[in-house]
Amino acid sequence: MPHPSSIEAYHLKLTGSLQSYLEQLISDSRELRTQRAIAGSNDTRDPSMTHDNLPAEEIESSVQNPLIRNRAWFFSHDASALPRYVSEASSITFAIRLCQSLRGDDVSPLTLPPMRQVDDSSLISLLHAETQWPPLAQAHLLVKTALRHTSPLFHLALRKDTLDQLQDSYHRTALDDTAFGCKYFALFALGEVYSTPFLVSKDGPVPGLSYYMRAMSLIALFPENPSIFHIEGLLALALYSQFLNRGQTAFSLVGQALRAALGCGLNHSLPADQSVDALRREHRVRIWWTIFIFDRFWSCKLGLPAQTHDEDIHVEMPSNLALETYQEQFADSSYQRAAIGLARISGDIIQNIYSRSSHLGSFLSRERKLLIKLKQWVRDLPDQVRLRSESPSPKHVILIHLQFNYCLVLATRPVLLHVLILVSKADASTAVTNSPVLITLGEACIRAARHSLDLCLDEWTDGSSSIYGYAFPHYVFTSGLILIISSLVPFGKTSDFTYVETVTEMLRTLRIKGSLVATDLFEHLQLIRRDLEGGCFATDSSSTGNSHTLQSELPVSLNSGLDSTLSDQFDPDGAFSENEPHMTTEMALHEPLMQEFLAFPDRYTGLLNGLDTISAGNPDGSVWPALQLDERSPSSNQ
């Protein structure tokens, strides 16, 4: 048996050799970048060099978010109003940038069609209406409907207590607590919009609007010492505002709830010496995290900075209590915990991909770190939050997986748009096929969009989608944008345009039935289709043939080892094929090339932009040779 000291000496020698090698690798990479910078400043590059013959690492190191420009974008439809800020993270902005790319026009002013929403004048006309409490039986049904549709992802109130207090309130002669009334009228509004068939609303373009405005009138004064009823009412009002297509109003109401919660210390754990029972403690915890989820999810869709900050949160996560009354009041905490994890990642995506702040590391290295977080989120899901393959999944499970796919699309669609811009240039299409990183990230985006649309189609055919809701048409529209691009890029499928036809029909149907959100998104989709038919891709009538031709130009490591993954993407008949494997949430992040990309060591992400970034023709078939050296050397020497 070797002496311990000799083993120690061996490991020290091995570690020293490996460290020296890696230091030399980094030094060479830095030297190369310096030489390139000097060459660029002296303008010594051959002017005839085009995108076609640029090395892959230069193509990848130039990748930035094409949605982010030097200046923020504002527009105004009303000269008397403040110009409105439009974030690059919003799907509407992505749609407009997509129109530009389809036209091959990057210089014309951006235009935004007027939004379809319940306007201020319509709301003001209802502000002073004396909307009465509904009959008790109807009130009971409305509240149960509201709580059933929002739980378990969002916790708006204690279920049993809310129904019991509603019953008691009808036996009182007077209700002086305006926060109490606000909460219930907001729940009535939600209950009505969730349960009313299309085009039968009696009080405006959206069911429940009179209840909503009655609730709004009861919170005209922000209390100095807000009650839990006040915060619950604000959250219910914020959620209903989405049905009115008033995203800014919803975000502002969540901001009010957040500030009230901070003033009450909901972001802190209650000390043991506070005389609050376990049930009320858990209620505080879940209300706080609902605020957090609303803030992060909605700021993600609007592209606005999150109002909650992780460093200010000192409260425990939701938990399942060992109490007899627990299930009467709460849903299983695992659903809200999963939503919290996804909400954190949503905030990270906005900060790292769409912020104008300076960042450490390249754009692609930040992409990689976000995708690792998304992969970890999927890995940690408990069984009850996973999609079922043998039977239909509950609606709340489908919703959280739709949000996951949306996060994945949001993180990667700048890369896909970058690819489309390259493909639109005659001298750059081959450069795309020489870049495994761009193909890998673009494929992940497309797969997530396909999976989302499959889930939405299941909801549609089951009759589970809400007519007036915001989330469903938004997920459908977002997926449709990605699949338009998929039909145009070499690693996509021309048959994905079949999906786009389905998206158009779904939004058209929701529009006819009265959905304000779908009306808005349908018009944007029509503009995109117009630019697609008349833009720089209109003459490309042989897209399928081009895709097959470009397949032969792919790097050896992509074409030889991925028969069941990337190569399948060139099957023009696969969009609705019965032979298509059952799609899962994990699929987009479990392709072999994606696995290699995600496994690149954290401390060497800078090499993604250096000499050893990517070499498609490596003898061992590896795509990231630096990764293989870093991981194989220790084991091969031992």
Residue 423 has pLDDT above 90, yes or no: no
* Dihedrals phi, psi of 137, to nearest 5 degrees: -60, -40
What is the predicted pLDDT for the residue at 29?
Answer: 60
Lowest mean pLDDT: which of 79-83, 477-481, 544-548? Answer: 544-548
Pair 49, 597: CB distance under 8 Å: no
How many C-beta neighbours within 10 Å does residue 582 have? 8
R_g over Cα of the chain: 27
DSSP class per residue in 5-28: HHHHHHHHHHHHHHHHHHHHHHHH
pTM beyond 0.75: yes
Kind plus residue range of the DSSP H or E element containing 482: helix 471-486
User: Would you place residue 615 in the very low, low, confident or very high pLDDT band (cuts 50, 70, 90)?
Assistant: very low
Strand 73-75 and strand 84-86: the pairing is antiparallel
What is the predicted pLDDT for the residue at 220?
Answer: 79
Question: What percent of the chain shows pLDDT beyond 90?
Answer: 46
Interatomic CA distance for residues 108 and 104, integer angstroms: 10
Lowest mean pLDDT: which of 4-18, 56-70, 115-129? Answer: 4-18
Task: Render pLDDT for 492-526 as a digit per residue (tens, 0 to 9).
Answer: 999 999 999 999 999 999 999 888 999 999 999 99
Q: Which of 261, 272, 333 is nearest to 295 (CA)?
A: 261
* Dihedrals phi, psi of 276, to nearest 5 degrees: -125, 125
Residue 543 has pLDDT above 60, yes or no: no
User: Would you place residue 25 in the very low, low, confident or very high pLDDT band (cuts 50, 70, 90)?
Assistant: low
Lowest mean pLDDT: which of 23-32, 209-218, 542-551? Answer: 542-551
What is the predicted pLDDT for the residue at 361?
Answer: 76
Lowest mean pLDDT: which of 13-27, 265-279, 427-441? Answer: 13-27
Kind plus residue range of the DSSP H or E element containing 84: strand 84-86
SS3 274: coil
Interatomic CA distance for residues 612 and 28, integer angstroms: 9
